[in-house]
Structure 1
Amino acid sequence: MGSQKVQSTLVGRLLELDRLVAVLDSAAGGTAGVALVGGDAGIGKTRLVTELAERAREAGFAVLTGQCAELGDALPYLPLADALRGAEGELRAALDARPVLGRLLPGSADGGPESASGLTQQQLFGSMLGFLAVRPVLLILEDLHWADQSTRDLVVFLSRMLQGEHVCVVGTYRTDDLHRRHPLRRVLAELKRLPSVTSVELGPLDRGEMTDYVAVLGGTDARVIDQVVGRAEGNPFYAEELLEAALGGCSMPDGLADLLLSRAELLSDSAQRVLRGAAVAGRKVAHDLLQEASGLDDLDFEESMREIVSRGLLRPSGDGYTFRHALLQEAVYTDLLPGERTRLHAEFARLLTAREGAAAELAHHYLAGHDLAGALAASVEAGRRAERLGAPAEAHRHFEQALGLWDRVADAERLAGSDHGRLAMRSAAAAADSGDNHRAVAQLRRLPASAEVNERLAYCLIDADDEEGAIAAAQAAVEAADEPPVLARALATYARALYWTERHDEVEALAVRALETARASGATDAETSALITLGSLAALAADIPRAKELLGCAAAERSGDLAIDLRAIFQYARVQYESGDLAEASVTVDRGLRLAHETGLDWSTFGTDLRFLRLLIHYVAGEWDAAEKVAAGFGIRAGTSAEATLSSFALFVEVARGLPAVEERLSWMEPFWSDDVLVSYMGHGLAAEHALWHGDPEGALGHVHAALDALYPHDPGVVRLGATGLWALADLGRAAEADAMLERARVPTVVGPGSGIRGPMGPEGMAWLARAEAEWHRAHGRSGTDAWRAVVEAFDFGFVYEVARSRWRLAEALLADGDREGARREWERAVETAGSLGARPLGEALAELGRRARFTAAQPGLLTGREQEVLALVAEGLPNREIGERLFIAQKTVSVHVSNILGKLGVSSRTQAAAVARREGLL
């Protein structure tokens, strides 16, 4: 009775609701957000998010709600599967188009590969991101304190990657369940640091709110209300139970568990039996399953259920029932006698086995029912299903549980369908796929040595940067291999382990042997891996035609392993790009991006690497609008090194265009500069350029030295950093330091092939070295005209922006040499490029040079027809909006034209442009 009133009336919590509605409103406006709602059991979390869901529906959001269960840590993605069942309309079509998500739904085919794949989870995460972007969605995940690790990882992923989607994610959790080592504690601490995450903590209602709440429940007697309010201590659920007991003529027990059980004890014997069965089943239970477990006939079961439902203990839900509150289920379950609990678990295991129920649920009931053989078989099957669903952490947990039972069960190998060693290897692979490389290595080292074990151990140790251990394990794998496919994989892994070591010269022979063995035995994954290694070796040796041939072969066919296929395509595109073949690289990258998208791997390691390469190609080719569009997908907020790396890619265009996002992006990246070499190189290097454009060469030099300190002396990134540092030293006039900086920049170019460090520099690297040498001349007060002309030629393989930037310096050098006409030609070409790219800092530098040199745009043809139209309206004093309306073009396009005009006229303001235009007769 009272509970129905509560469902329609929210008492208190208005401030908390306002905070949640603010997150929802932001999502409606295109800024995705996450809210975490915490509080003690019964404090009103569900009621609050139910109110939010109503507001969301009124605002046009689709609402998807999923709930964790107490055994949910064994059931991968349980709340997500629960939520996806509610998908309708556009969302249902989007779900049907994403099979990896469809596998989560009840009744779907398992699908997926039989063996573990580290990419399956990434596919699922990427698919979920795309699914949520279809339309405005409120996704509610309740009781996250019971969530499995894969669900927790998904919440973290969504919190970080959702940016401009119309999506609001809300998670609830019990604060009183979070003991010191609870796995959700670390996740909450991580998420609450993100600006996209709003934390809402529900405390007890105050006395006035509690009084109102009890009145809404149906309390009318002032004495009873006062007793309830005094005893409930601000907890709405406790108050509801206390009032129910008082109105039912019962005494009010001291503890909540006793109070809940006192209501259950009022049931008939048959109804209590049903309720106890429901408690063993969990928070939710199907009608037919519960009836069979109760042993009652149809009529008796229906009467018992009517009695239970009428007292508000269970509620109908779909084709079954749910407990009104998790606390009630916990109280009834805890009150069961040990023998009673074991018997009921065994009965549910028997019934679920006959129904082919969820393997994880079966394993839970078998174990609780002391059927160890059944638990072992179900655990292995649950692990296999978790693999196929992309839940490696849960797969590892189930496999470990089976291995723990192995010696206590007769005929374990038959029950598991696998021998102990292979199951242990599968468990280790699942641990590695879940990111727990340390556990995977420890588990593999405990196994009896074999070729397969050592090959997998070497693979894990390569990822763990244990060079010595990886080499030893790979060598042992090669020596022990007695089957050609195993030998091929061992040889390919051995070659990878040696690639960056002092034994680099041994790699080619091993890779050739791996390739021959793989082709003879049909081990396509090992064949592709060997081709990638050989192609990379050829690139290091500057044999670009051979490198392209080998990597082209690797990228042309599917090996059966998506990770290897994407790696092959990326390496092929990388060599094409680094050799200056931008058009070829574009085609290859786009093919890789299509494969990543079609397989749901946009956010996998190589999926993001391919997008970065796509951005670089756009950037170098002068396609900056396209580059900026790619960069927009990386987001600014960074909470991990991987995210900081992604964020740093966007800086290329943002710094070159002088966009306001640069400062914010750098501030988010800064905490990771000391932890990650690539983030340090990208962040410090581009922060240095940003500082130079803003007249701070001293600050730029600090960034350069910080980045150089993080790199190995032979790293190719040293060349670009050295050139940037020499730019700063030239601006400061510090010639002596410039000598040392140039020597440092030259180091990577003198290391030849076969060193295990790097091979000859590509055209871009050599162009940066030419830039460094030209800046060295400037630091020594020389014009360096020939040096700057060499820089222009070196970057002319297709690097549009750097050619323009080099022409700027060449124009300065020509002016210093007295060649005014030559300087003007270079200046005009640079101005044209800077304007077309929207390179504002370069455009301003060119405008300053134009003012000093007294260059004007009076010569015919320098302004385009459209620019002349825009200039005429600028001279009339019209703002960009009105100019756009007059000429029927976008305001942003007008802004680009105005920037071009200012650069070409060598001025810095619209007023100056109008004055020059009148003076030169351009109007």
Structure 2
Amino acid sequence: MADHFLGALTPPAAFCEAASGASASTWSRLHRSVTRRTLAAPGDKTCKITKRARGSVGVTCHTRSVVGRKTQTGLVGRGFQLDRLSRVLDAATGRMAGVALVGGDAGIGKTRIVCELSEIARERGFTVLVGQCAELGNALPYLPLADALRSADLRSALESRPVLRRLLPGADPDGSDALSGALAQQRLFGATLSLLGELADERPVLMVFEDLHWADHSTRDLLVFLTRMLQRERVVLVGTYRTDDLHRRHPLRPVLAELQRLPLVVPVELPPLDDEAMATHLTALGGGNAGLIGGVVGRAGGNPFFAEELLQAASSGDRLPATLADLLMARVEGLSDTAQQVLRVAAVAGRRVDHDMLRAAAGLADRPLEEALREIVSRGLLTVDQHIGYDFRHALLQEAVYDDLLPGERTRLHMTFASLLTESGGRAAELAHHYSAAHDVRGALITSLEAGLRATQMGAPAEANRHFDRALEVWEQVPDADAITGTTRARLILDSAAAAADSGDNHRAIAHLRRLRQLVTEPQLVAETNERLAWYQADGDDFHGMAEAAQAAVDVVGDGPETPMLARALATHARTLWIAERVADAQEAAARALEVARRTGSIEAESAALVSLGIQQESLGDPDMAEELLSMAAAKTSGSLSMDLRAWFSLARLQYERGDLDAAAESAEAGLQVARENGLMWSTFGTDLRFLRYLISFAAGDWDAAEKRAAMFGVRVGTPPEALLSSFALFVEVGRGRAVAAERLRWLEPFWGADDLVTYMTRGMAAELALWRGDPKEALGHVDAVVAVQQPYDSGLIRISATGLAALADLPPGDPARQRGTEFVERARYAATHGPAGPRTTLGPEGQGWLARAEAEWHRLSGTATPEVWDRALTAFDGGFPYEQARNRWRLAETLLETGDRDRARAEWEKAVEVADHLGAAPLRHALDLLGRRARFTLPDAAEPGRASVLDSLTGREREVLAQVAAGRSNREIGERLFISQKTASVHVSNILAKLGAATRTQAAAIAHQEGVTPPDD
């Protein structure tokens, strides 16, 4: 049967792992023999891609038809879908990353259309990477990624990324470091993202994940991560999946639902071909009998693969089976007995099989094996791949042959492959699959345990959990399980729980540990079980359970000799007590944990205790002691990278909040260096350190560096953590007046209310953006929304209250909302003096600055502002925060002008202008320009480049109203002349006064005359 365009036909080049010690001469002879016969067989084709009208693409292939004569075939009935996919390539060429998910029933043509897309991409200069998931993909983590990495020459790129190099055959999965689980996965994800970015800098990249319905958990997570993180890179991701395989609880379903909500994701559904398109296709294949084609079209149900098989059978005069499986097996039964035997053996190996492995499993000599393979390949059932092996022409064929095996035959062949793979040092995950299918519990136990350990080291915790659980299932069936594995059932349960937690499944981890608590009696093991249980419960907000488990961990070893386990239990107990707001008990537990850790040499527990004590001292009002403790923790190499990064982050955050921006920058850079050296820039604390470093650059006035760092903050977000990360970019974007700020806020809006911190960050910055745009009512709405989700003692309320007071002060005189000023200033004062555990004894420089700003805005709202009020706000931000100082100077200059001190007003104004120009703070500079023009600090030269007019902030209607005001007309007269109501005219006048910074209509009229506004004629 020919390799035609519409069926789900020969997949892209397969990348099957060659067995160690393969005979090159045997392979070369067989390959030449098979290739000579295959080139004259129906699978041979040459293709030409041509441009059609309206930019569509046509593919013409000369191929031997199913009935033995030359014909032409093309991509029939898929022009719309191919055009959609091609547009994703277009977008990537223009630096807009894209993702396409191609779904359809088995045999509908998913692989074929992706092959066409790959060819188009290659012609456009793309690097094309293709990875194939396998049916045992749940056991083989990152199989399609490894597949894709082998599909191109990436040796130099992989040299600097050992975590990816280890995925390739022959690589040592153990490596030289101790990273495992979640950290190893975060490293792998970051390495994959950086690899794609590096490749895309040279040429656009198309990366294909075939058969995602078989993808392992970690591959699905990787796909989601890449989809979230890729933004402006020239990268296209394409995944294919079978819709008919997605039952209600299939794990791919929620992933598809999550991804398809993102606008960069293009869903492409391949429906059944209509009768006309199917008839055209079958005719092109060489079916000249209209009656025959009509019968096939009627039975195929629009499925090209089924139709091709039906046409082949009908053309041979065979009786047409009722189902596709029967049809495929009829093709198999037409083979010789030896060829059928070889095909059945190959089916047990999976979609692909290595040549030497197939020869050994089939038990055939070279010549009969060659003849059998030649027959199978010439019939189009297997294809020769480029890695010394064979692929089934279609997964459905492999499934049909496998399903037709007798139970005993299937068990025997799986055992054969398990034995062969054991001898050749095959992958543990594949061995576990074959031993389990062969019902060899001893082999399944050993290999499942080994596969779990390998998956942990590879950064695939979900697969590790799966393998460990499989080992637990057969543990009781193996009498000497402890001896042959070198571990215990209890230790295996702990490992499985850790893997589950690392994969994000805390519920499963907790369930494991609760069962283990009923089994263990040895004190150290009881303590470890309860300590881990408390930790996972704290992460899951099970506050009652965590306290009970943590207490149990300490109780069981607390009266015995001091051990590292006791130190660890005490450190976790201190954490749970602090979460439960038992402050004194938490301090006592952390202090004891530190003492025991130092006496027992447990550096990790010592670091954990130091961090806990530091955070406690900070909250209790002793920032000097807190910084000393956190510095000690950061200076240690604890053996836990997660703990080390946490210590650096905690120290840098404290220094930032104390206003020591230089020290904060130094600590953040030190933490980032640890993350960078270990490939953990995308780990939890690696990401935290990056956005903290961004904030430090913003606060210190290094906005260019901050904006570069913000490149990691994707605009298109889909989860609360991504939304939080994205919200930080708003500081510079709002400050510089970037248009992207509005787009980012649209993406963040769905998360308002879903996460308190996201709400605080995004709506707080949305309020500032609204103020710059002259819309204090919108700003006030954002402020109220933030206040609603904050505790009264949250220090963040100081800043948001100051923003709210600024919005109130910008409202027109007489607006009833202005009466809320007392409410806002009292809220700021309370948050400044009260903490979660009692009176707030200290407030950092930034907090003090915002409190002073709130007081100054309160006076501006009340009409009692004096230069001294704004001087206090300016002084409070002294020593850093140049942007906030410049904003205070702006208001100080206004106040100085009102008191008649023009010289000092001009001096403060000039300092603010200098900072605004240095930062590129366009909205602030515009406000300063308006003030400068009103005060005549600058000449009103409209032609001067970069200078704004005081009237730029007015709408067209407001300019018309201003002209009427300049003519001295009342609101009633303005309404009559402009055909608007008196009330509407009043609103316009109030807005104009606010935007011009004018206290009266007379001042507004003077500004209008100064700007050349001509009063209209009567």
Return the TM-score normalized by structure 1.
0.91
Q: What is the CA–CA distance in structure 1 between the aligned matches of 2:488 and 2:567, rounded to whole Å?
A: 23
Query: Structure 2 residue aligned with 1:158, among 207, 226, 231?
Result: 226
Q: Deviations over 1:846-886 (max 9, x none)?
A: 2222233232369xxxxxxxxx9x987789xxxxxxxxxxx
Query: How many angstroms does 1:771 deviate by?
Result: 0.7
CA contact 2:181–2:460 (8 Å) conserved in 1: no
Query: Structure 1 residue aligned with 2:787, among 683, 696, 708?
Result: 708
Matched with 2:360 is 292
- 2:123 pairs with 1:68: no
Query: Structure 1 residue aligned with 2:184, among 120, 132, 144?
Result: 120
Matched with 1:609 is 688
Partner letter of residue 2 of structure 1? A
Q: What is the CA–CA distance in structure 1 between the aligned matches of 2:473 and 2:617, rounded to whole Å?
A: 48
Deviates more, 1:799-808 or 1:554-563: 554-563
Query: Structure 2 residue aligned with 1:167, among 235, 241, 255?
Result: 235
Q: What is the CA–CA distance in structure 2 between the aligned matches of 1:758 and 1:369, rounded to whole Å?
A: 67
Secondary structure of 1:796's aligned partner: coil
Query: Structure 2 residue aligned with 1:840, among 922, 940, 953?
Result: 922
- 2:415 pairs with 1:346: yes
- 2:497 pairs with 1:418: no
Query: Structure 2 residue aligned with 1:375, among 444, 450, 474?
Result: 444
Q: What is the CA–CA distance in structure 1 between the aligned matches of 2:475 and 2:46, rounded to whole Å?
A: 51
Partner letter of residue 361 of structure 1? E
Query: Structure 2 residue aligned with 1:404, among 451, 466, 473?
Result: 473
Query: Structure 1 residue aligned with 2:511, among 434, 442, 446?
Result: 442
How many residue pairs align between the two structures? Answer: 866
Q: What does residue range 214-293 of structure 1 map to in structure 2 within 5 Å?
A: 214-293=282-361
Partner letter of residue 181 of structure 2? S
Closer, same or farther in 2 for the Cα pair 1:700/1:752, shift >3 Å?
A: closer
Query: How many angstroms does 1:542 deviate by?
Result: 4.1
Q: What does residue range 615-626 of structure 1 map to in structure 2 within 5 Å?
A: 615-626=694-705
Closer, same or farther in 2 for the Cα pair 1:184/1:604, shift >3 Å?
A: same
Q: Percent identity?
A: 60
Partner letter of residue 427 of structure 1? S
Matched with 2:120 is 55
- 2:76 pairs with 1:14: no
| Higher-helix-fraction structure | 1
CA contact 1:376–1:415 (8 Å) conserved in 2: no
Secondary structure of 1:797's aligned partner: coil
Q: What is the CA–CA distance in structure 2 between the aligned matches of 1:86 and 1:691, rounded to whole Å?
A: 51
Query: Structure 1 residue aligned with 2:547, among 464, 467, 471?
Result: 471
Matched with 2:885 is 803
Q: What is the CA–CA distance in structure 1 between the aligned matches of 2:499 and 2:615, rounded to whole Å?
A: 29
Partner letter of residue 781 of structure 1? G
Query: How many angstroms does 1:818 deviate by?
Result: 2.3
Matched with 1:783 is 865
Partner letter of residue 783 of structure 2? V
CA contact 2:2–2:380 (8 Å) conserved in 1: no
Closer, same or farther in 2 for the Cα pair 1:576/1:619, shift >3 Å?
A: same
Q: CA RMSD in A?
A: 2.2
Partner letter of residue 259 of structure 1? L
Q: What is the CA–CA distance in structure 1 between the aligned matches of 2:715 and 2:837, rounded to whole Å?
A: 40
Q: What is the CA–CA distance in structure 2 between the aligned matches of 1:138 and 1:415, rounded to whole Å?
A: 46
Partner letter of residue 145 of structure 2? L
Moved over 4 A (4+): 112-116, 752-755, 870-875
Query: How many angstroms does 1:19 deviate by?
Result: 0.9
Q: What is the CA–CA distance in structure 2 between the aligned matches of 1:103 and 1:518, rounded to whole Å?
A: 36
Query: How many angstroms does 1:754 deviate by?
Result: 5.9
- 2:603 pairs with 1:524: yes
Query: Structure 1 residue aligned with 2:634, among 542, 555, 572?
Result: 555
Query: How many angstroms does 1:794 deviate by?
Result: 0.7
CA contact 2:832–2:843 (8 Å) conserved in 1: yes
Query: How many angstroms does 1:781 deviate by?
Result: 1.3
Matched with 1:719 is 798
Q: What is the CA–CA distance in structure 2 between the aligned matches of 1:661 and 1:735, rounded to whole Å?
A: 31
Query: How many angstroms does 1:105 deviate by?
Result: 0.9
Query: Structure 2 residue aligned with 1:131, among 195, 198, 205?
Result: 195
Closer, same or farther in 2 for the Cα pair 1:124/1:873, shift >3 Å?
A: closer
CA contact 1:548–1:575 (8 Å) conserved in 2: yes
Query: How many angstroms does 1:286 deviate by?
Result: 0.9
Q: What is the CA–CA distance in structure 1 between the aligned matches of 2:727 and 2:221, rounded to whole Å?
A: 23
Secondary structure of 1:499's aligned partner: helix
Query: How many angstroms does 1:617 deviate by?
Result: 1.1
Query: How many angstroms does 1:319 deviate by?
Result: 1.3
CA contact 1:691–1:700 (8 Å) conserved in 2: yes
Query: How many angstroms does 1:501 deviate by?
Result: 3.4
Matched with 1:2 is 2
Secondary structure of 1:447's aligned partner: helix
CA contact 1:540–1:759 (8 Å) conserved in 2: no
Q: What is the CA–CA distance in structure 2 between the aligned matches of 1:784 and 1:111, rounded to whole Å?
A: 68
Secondary structure of 2:129's aligned partner: strand
Matched with 2:100 is 35
Q: What does residue range 312-327 of structure 1 map to in structure 2 within 5 Å?
A: 312-317=380-385, 318-327=387-396
Q: What does residue range 315-714 of structure 1 map to in structure 2 within 5 Å?
A: 315-317=383-385, 318-448=387-517, 450-481=526-557, 484-714=563-793
Query: How many angstroms does 1:753 deviate by?
Result: 9.0
CA contact 1:6–1:216 (8 Å) conserved in 2: no
Q: What is the CA–CA distance in structure 2 between the aligned matches of 1:382 and 1:162, rounded to whole Å?
A: 31
Q: What is the CA–CA distance in structure 1 between the aligned matches of 2:671 and 2:114, rounded to whole Å?
A: 41
Query: How many angstroms does 1:758 deviate by?
Result: 6.8
Q: Deviations over 1:560-600 (max 9, x none)?
A: 11111111111111112111111121122122223222322
CA contact 2:793–2:835 (8 Å) conserved in 1: no
Secondary structure of 1:218's aligned partner: coil
Matched with 1:906 is none
Matched with 2:211 is 143
Return the TM-score normalized by structure 2.
0.82
CA contact 2:767–2:779 (8 Å) conserved in 1: yes
CA contact 1:512–1:534 (8 Å) conserved in 2: yes
Query: How many angstroms does 1:328 deviate by?
Result: 0.2
Partner letter of residue 466 of structure 1? D
Partner letter of residue 439 of structure 1? R
Matched with 1:739 is 822
Closer, same or farther in 2 for the Cα pair 1:55/1:809, shift >3 Å?
A: same
Q: Deviations over 1:482-527 (max 9, x none)?
A: 5611111111111122224331122333222222222222222111
CA contact 1:2–1:216 (8 Å) conserved in 2: no
CA contact 2:180–2:458 (8 Å) conserved in 1: no
Matched with 2:162 is 99
Partner letter of residue 425 of structure 1? L
Q: What is the CA–CA distance in structure 2 between the aligned matches of 1:797 and 1:753, rounded to whole Å?
A: 28
CA contact 1:116–1:426 (8 Å) conserved in 2: no
